Structures are given as structure tokens and as C-alpha cells.
């Protein structure tokens, strides 16, 4: 862990970028817990929960191509600041949702929030390579994953406490404050003049997304890596919906026998918080453990993605068939170690091998594909849960995970020739 602390200590720009992520992600999980509580209380429907996730994911898919062009044309730092400020205002709008008949407003505000997130995320992914050295990218992505998962665990826990004690409105207010603080941290980042000039001049028009797609079409290996998260999210996306039902109905808080010791008003929120804590541990520490085990070499990073794809269906199938909450949590841990490894290693690969002038558009394409498959996955989860039951729906996602693992190994076997040039560049830079 000393390596990660040293990175934060010596790199001022990355430290502020990281601090912005800490506070905004903490608020995001406050928001999710409060949103899930409101939707459940208003509708008590699995499909309605799916609609919540669709409202969060579809805007990311639809607006990511535009976001990629903006991230390669204008100051990435300014895009992130403006996005944070506008998201703070949008989140405060949730306070006006008071009755079931206003649920449309809830979904509309969620869509607006994630339109702004679609502008923020590709810009942040692209700017990471501008503030750290190339041989630090795997470490920086692993630290980002640990941060995301820690905020998942801490934010979900605190969000559940705040929602249960102070109400969902307090969670939304705190979320808005975190966006304001994130904007301040990002404003402290100092981009070199040459980097700003390069970013502004990187594109020549609004149709540059076509040039970005053309680049990917002629780089099949990079295209394959850019689709890794999309394939994975088709598997893990629906689990976000199903685990809410597991926490509230399959494994109610009363089943732990702690009602007399820990009296809680909302047991479903408490159990969901525990699930998110374990998810945070898996997605955070899993990639760090894998990096320590495998290292940063090109071939090892490729193998690490394969390991992640193998762990993913194993964990999901354990979730589907576990009759004890301990088994469910174990499956959750294994699943999230797999998904976290896939996420971190593929992101580091792209940041390492994609030229800066294409980086915003490539990450926007990756993000759009990811959110499209995640939207499909979450919608199917709600439909399958209502039609077949939560365990059967989870088992289907486990089978999809096995297919995803098979697809990765087929790609790995047939991409050796295409990846040769990128492997050579990795060696020249001293990472191999």
C-alpha cells in the first residue's frame, strides 16, 4: 500500500483528482440508497427498480459520443467542474418529489443527473493519463478502484443510516454538497499549457466521433479491449437489481437473529448496506491483490482480465444457490473481485496504449457500450425476476458469465498477432 500513498503524496494533480472522486462517489451511494428506498416505498415493483437503473444508465449511453468529442476538443478540467456544479443543482431537485404521482419527476431528474455524469466520466478517464506517468497507470487505476469500492461500502452504509435516521431528503442534500466539494478539488488541478493546447486542438469539428470510430475499426485489438467492460456489464449489471430483492426478501434482517441486539427500523436497507460493504471490499482489494500477484506486464494484465471473467460467474452462481446469508456474501465477494479486476486491468490497458488525441473518444465509446449493455442487463433482471423469481434470474446471469468468459479466451487466443505492436510499445516504455 505504500506505493499508493507515495503516488498521492508526490503527485499534487492526481491527489486533487482523487479527492474529487472520493467525495463525489460518497454522495453517489448516498443517492442510490435513498433513491432505491423511495422507489420501493412508492411502487414495490422489481420493474420500477429496473427503471431507476435505466434512468441512470441510458443517458450515459446516449450522450457519451458527444462527451468524447468534447473531452478531446475542450479543457477536460473545465468539463468536470461544470458537470459537478450542475449535478449539485439537479440533485437538490429530488427534494420536490413528494408523492407517487410525481415519480415521473424522480426519473426525469435522474436522467438529467446522469446526462451530466456522461460528460464527466470520459473527461476524467482521459485526463488521468495527463496527470500520472504511463508506468503508474495500473497503480492509479487500482487506487481508483479501491476508492470507488471504499466509497461504495462507506457510502452505502452511511447512506442507509442517514436515510433511516434523517430521511432520504438529507441524503440528497449531502449528495449535492459532495458535488460542490468535488468541483473545488478539481479546480485545484493545474494542467500544463502544452496539455491544454493539445486538448483544445485535438479535434477539428463536431463529426470527430466518426474519426474516433474509424480509429477503433482499424485497431481491432483496442476495439476488443474497449468492449471488455460492455461484455462484463451485461453479466454484472442485472445483479445490482436482484441483490436489492435478496436483501429485502430472501435474507431479511430478522433471519440473522439480531433483532434484539440491533433493533433497526428498516431491515432491508441495513441488509443492502451489508451487501454493498462486501461488494466494496471485493472491487477495491481484489484488483490490488491481483496486481500484486500478477504484476504490471502486458501479458499479465491480459491474463488478469481472464481471471476476472472466470471469477465473475462463479460468484454469481454461488449467489443464486446459497441458502445461507454467509454463502450469499461469499459469492458477492468472489463476484466483485472478478468484476473489479476486469474493470481496472482493462481501463489501465486502454489508458496505456491509446494515443491522447483519441483517448476521450475511445473512453466515451467504451462508456457508451458499457452503459448500453448495463441498461439491457438491468431491464432483463427486473423482467426475469417478476417472471421467474430472483434465484432463477440470478442463475441465468451466471450462465451469461460463463459465456462471457469463453468469449474473452477466444479473443485472447486470436488477438496475439494484433496485440504485438502494443506489447512492443509496452516493453519500450519499460513496463514489461
What is the tens place of the pLDDT at every residue in 384-429? 998 999 999 999 999 999 999 999 999 998 887 667 666 665 644 4
The CATH fold assigned to 2-188+208-425 is: Growth Hormone; Chain: A; (1.20.1250)
Are the beta carbons of 56 and 78 closer than 8 angstroms? Answer: no
- For range 339-362, the mean pLDDT: 86
Which pLDDT does position 224 carry in this prediction?
93
Is residue 167 very low, low, confident or very high in pLDDT (cuts 50, 70, 90)?
confident
Which pLDDT does position 298 carry in this prediction?
84
The helix/strand/coil state of 262 is: coil
Which pLDDT does position 250 carry in this prediction?
80
- More reliable by pLDDT, 194 or 396: 396
Tens of pLDDT, residue by residue over 350-359, are 888 888 778 8
**How much of the chain exceeds pLDDT 70, in percent?**
83
Angle at alpha carbon of residue 155, lines to 154 and 158, rounded to 5°: 80
Gap between the Cα atoms of 415 and 306, Å rounded: 14
Cell numbers 429485502: residue: 248
- For range 56-60, the mean pLDDT: 78
Distances (CA, A) of 1 to 5, 8, 289, 430, 431: 7, 11, 11, 22, 19
- For range 160-165, the mean pLDDT: 70
- Strand stretches in 226-284, DSSP E: none
* Residue among 231, 242, 224, 266 at smallest CA distance from 417: 224
* Phi, then psi, of 189 in degrees rounded to 5: -70, 135
The cell for 169 is: 431528503
Are the beta carbons of 73 and 203 closer than 8 angstroms? Answer: yes
- For range 371-389, the mean pLDDT: 88
Distances (CA, A) of 214 to 161, 222, 363, 365, 411: 48, 12, 14, 12, 20
Which pLDDT does position 206 carry in this prediction?
43
Among the residue ranges 56-70, 123-137, 152-166, 271-285, the one predicted with the least confidence is: 152-166
For the chain, give the mean pLDDT.
Answer: 80
- For range 297-326, the mean pLDDT: 93
Q: Is the pLDDT of residue 316 over 80?
A: yes
Is residue 132 very low, low, confident or very high in pLDDT (cuts 50, 70, 90)?
confident
Q: Is the pLDDT of residue 265 over 60?
A: no
Beta-carbon contacts of 206 under 8 Å, excluding residues fewer than 6 positions away, are 69
Amino acid at each position: 500500500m505504500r506505493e499508493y500513498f507515495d503516488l498521492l503524496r508526490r503527485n499534487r494533480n492526481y491527489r486533487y483528482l482523487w479527492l474529487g472522486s472520493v467525495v463525489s462517489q460518497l454522495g453517489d451511494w448516498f443517492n442510490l440508497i435513498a433513491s432505491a428506498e423511495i422507489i420501493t416505498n412508492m411502487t414495490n415493483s422489481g420493474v420500477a427498480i429496473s427503471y431507476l437503473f435505466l434512468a441512470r444508465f441510458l443517458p450515459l449511453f446516449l450522450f457519451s459520443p458527444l462527451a468524447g468529442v468534447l473531452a478531446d476538443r475542450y479543457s477536460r478540467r473545465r468539463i468536470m467542474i461544470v458537470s459537478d456544479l450542475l449535478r449539485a443543482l439537479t440533485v437538490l431537485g429530488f427534494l420536490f418529489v413528494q408523492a407517487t404521482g410525481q415519480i415521473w419527476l424522480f426519473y426525469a431528474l435522474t436522467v438529467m443527473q446522469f446526462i451530466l455524469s456522461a460528460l464527466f466520466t470520459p473527461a476524467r478517464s482521459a485526463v488521468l493519463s495527463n496527470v500520472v506517468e504511463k508506468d503508474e497507470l495500473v497503480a492509479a487505476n487500482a487506487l481508483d478502484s479501491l476508492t470507488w469500492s471504499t466509497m461504495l461500502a462507506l457510502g452505502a452504509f452511511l447512506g442507509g443510516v442517514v436515510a433511516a435516521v434523517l430521511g432520504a431528503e438529507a441524503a440528497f442534500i449531502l449528495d449535492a454538497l459532495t458535488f460542490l466539494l468535488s468541483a473545488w478539488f478539481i479546480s485545484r488541478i493545474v494542467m500544463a499549457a502544452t496539455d491544454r493546447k493539445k486538448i483544445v486542438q485535438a479535434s477539428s469539428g463536431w463529426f470527430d466521433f466518426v474519426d474516433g470510430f474509424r480509429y477503433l475499426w482499424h485497431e481491432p485489438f483496442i476495439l476488443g479491449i474497449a468492449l471488455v467492460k460492455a461484455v462484463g456489464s451485461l453479466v454484472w449489471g442485472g445483479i445490482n437489481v436482484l441483490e436489492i430483492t435478496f436483501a429485502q426478501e430472501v435474507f431479511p434482517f430478522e433471519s440473522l437473529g439480531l433483532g434484539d441486539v440491533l433493533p433497526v427500523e428498516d431491515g432491508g436497507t441495513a441488509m443492502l448496506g451489508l451487501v454493498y460493504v462486501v461488494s466494496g471490499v471485493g472491487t477495491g482489494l481484489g484488483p490490488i491483490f491481483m496486481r500484486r500477484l500478477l504484476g504490471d506486464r502486458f501479458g499479465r494484465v491480459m491474463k488478469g482480465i481472464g481471471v476476472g471473467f472466470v471469477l465473475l460467474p462463479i460468484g454469481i452462481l454461488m449467489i443464486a444457490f446459497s441458502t445461507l446469508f454467509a454463502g450469499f456474501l461469499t459469492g458477492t465477494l468472489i463476484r466483485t473481485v472478478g468484476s473489479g479486476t476486469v474493470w481496472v486491468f482493462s481501463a489501465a490497458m486502454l489508458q496505456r496504449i491509446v494515443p491522447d488525441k483519441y483517448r476521450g473518444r475511445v473512453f466515451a465509446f467504451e462508456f457508451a457500450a458499457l452503459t448500453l449493455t448495463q441498461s439491457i442487463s438491468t431491464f432483463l433482471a427486473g423482467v426475469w425476476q417478476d417472471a421467474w423469481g430472483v434465484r432463477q434470474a440470478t442463475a441465468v446471469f451466471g450462465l451469461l458469465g460463463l459465456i462471457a468468459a469463453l468469449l474473452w479466451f477466444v479473443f485472447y487466443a486470436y488477438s496475439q498477432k494484433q496485440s504485438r505492436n502494443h506489447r512492443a510499445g509496452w516493453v519500450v516504455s519499460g513496463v514489461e
